[in-house]
Amino acid sequence: MPFTLADNNSIANRFIAELRSTAVQNDRMRFRKNIERIGQIFAYEISKTFHYREEDIETPLGIANVPLPNDR
């Protein structure tokens, strides 16, 4: 099932609105930064579809059980 970022309430809508704005498109650095931010949000959303495995990690406070993405 496809995921459409603009169909959900998200801060990404602000970045998309700025990308579409003719006033903001003239600011190259802001345009590039918004593209980068949207890429990070996409990466986060895609990571939700990964398969994960539980792994025990030793921390200064003890053992923490952490879900990590499978290598494949």
Query: Which ranges of the chain would DSSP assign to H, the alpha helix?
Result: 12-20, 22-25, 28-47
The predicted structure's pLDDT at residue 71 = 79
Task: Give the whole-angstrom CA distance, residue 72 versus residue 61.
Answer: 30
Print pLDDT tens along the chain (72 aa): 676 766 778 888 899 899 899 888 889 999 999 999 999 998 998 898 899 999 999 999 999 999 999 976
Looking up tokens 């990404």 gives 12
Domains of the chain, residue spans: 5-69
